[in-house]
Amino acid sequence: MPSKSIDHAFTARGLTGAASDPTHAGALSFMRRKFTKSLKGADAVVWGIPFDAAVSNRPGARFGPQAIRRASAIFDNDPQYPFQRDLFEDLAVIDYGDCLLDYGNHQKTPGRIEREAAKILKSGAFLVSLGGDHFVTWPLLKAHAATHGKLALVQFDAHQDTWFDDGRRIDHGSFVGRAVRDGVIDPAHSIQIGIRTHAPEDCGIQMLHGNEIDEMKAADIAAAIASRVGDMPCYITFDIDCLDPAFAPGTGTPVAGGPSSAKMLAVLRQSGGLDIRGADIVEVAPAYDHADITAIAGATVAQHYLGLLAEKRAGN
């Protein structure tokens, strides 16, 4: 196999260009991108945050980054569907590895995530974060807002995550309310897609409930998002439990009645007109997964983030 390489994550000489590792072998970085802590020359950075101490139901999302990286190996080296291009022909992407967190001192977790995210963003790179439970989005939002200003939030989720807390609580169900109260996001330009639970307050954020999007086409959902966000810089957070458990069983708080992975990926595909400044995929918990169904969905969400970025950089 003269055209094949192996362990591209370590042997790559540059940050662009497709890998050619066998799907079943080789170092499992995200989509075979080079593992490095050097941010020099990187247009985008993929970073894992293996934290799940904030969950209210089933733990295990600390293993999400590993699972998503493993699942991403299924992407072959042909032009990436549905973008019809080699995403890495001109887009320099690295896998920055994981955030080092002290499992015995969770109060230090948000500061550690925020500081390291700020360092990455300072380089000018676009940051794609792999959770981890949904609490990690709170320090990520703070770091992005410090760089880009107040943000519109585009949240794919079965839960509103607007439960009240005291500003210090480590909880994956309250970060949105905290972000509104602290002025990190603008609720008038923020939207939640796939909501299938109730919380005491909506914080002024528009919601598209699960039963609503069931009756909508992907193009209509994407149009509703674009209308709400407008020209504001936005941050996309995708909780994998937005999807119905049939498409994402491997998560901590599954809720029946959700959309398919195909439909939500189609919405993402049609969201290239948004001014996206950062994005994450969270709550993949592989211990409850089967045949990597959830991890593959999560990896494909992250692949779509990079596809939209590559498309924008290419001017089409």
| pTM as predicted | 0.95
For residue range 150-207, what is the model confidence (pLDDT) as tens digits? 999 999 999 999 988 888 888 888 899 999 999 999 999 999 999 999 998 999 999 9
Which class for 294: exposed (0-12), middle (13-18), buried (19 or more C-beta within 10 A)? Answer: buried
Which class for 70: exposed (0-12), middle (13-18), buried (19 or more C-beta within 10 A)? Answer: middle
> In this predicted structure, what is the pLDDT of residue 1?
41
Instruction: Round to whole Å and give the CA distance between 26 and 136.
Output: 29
> In this predicted structure, what is the pLDDT of residue 316?
64
> Is 161 known to sit in a ligand binding site?
yes
- Has residue 3 got a pLDDT over 70? no
For residues 38-57, average pLDDT: 96
Side-chain-side CA neighbours of 83 within 13 Å: the count stands at 31
The overall longest dimension of the chain from CA atoms, in Å, is 61
- Has residue 77 got a pLDDT over 80? no
> Is 157 known to sit in a ligand binding site?
yes
For residue range 117-150, what is the model confidence (pLDDT) as tens digits? 999 999 999 999 999 999 999 999 999 999 999 9
Instruction: Round to whole Å and give the CA distance between 69 and 131.
Output: 11
Q: Which of 72-76, 221-225, 248-252 has the lowest mean pLDDT?
A: 72-76
Structure tokens at 33: 């991108």
- Has residue 4 got a pLDDT over 80? no
Structure tokens at 186: 């603008």
For residues 100-126, average pLDDT: 96
For residues 42-70, average pLDDT: 96
For residues 53-72, average pLDDT: 96
Instruction: Round to whole Å and give the CA distance between 46 and 279.
Output: 10
Q: Which amino acid would we find at residue 172? A: H
* Percent of residues, the chain, with pLDDT higher than 90: 84
Q: Which of 119, 109, 48 is nearest to 299 (CA)?
A: 48
> Is 241 known to sit in a ligand binding site?
yes
Q: Which of 201, 135, 207 is nearest to 170 (CA)?
A: 135
Whole-number average pLDDT of the chain: 94
Tokens 């299938």 found at: 196
Angle at 218 between CA 245 and CA 141, to 5 degrees: 70
For residues 26-33, average pLDDT: 93
Fold type of domain 8-314: Arginase; Chain A (3.40.800)
Contacts 24+ apart (CB under 8 A), 143-148: 143/113, 143/114, 143/115, 143/117, 143/118, 144/117, 144/235, 144/277, 144/278, 145/184, 145/185, 146/118, 147/118, 147/121, 147/122, 147/277, 148/233, 148/277, 148/278
Structure tokens at 168: 């210090």
Instruction: Round to whole Å and give the CA distance between 6 and 20.
Output: 7
Each domain of the chain, given as residue ranges in start order, spans 8-314
Instruction: Round to whole Å and give the CA distance between 92 and 59.
Output: 34
> Is 239 known to sit in a ligand binding site?
yes
How would you classify residue 144: left for phi > 0, otherwise alpha for psi between -120 and 50, otherwise beta?
alpha
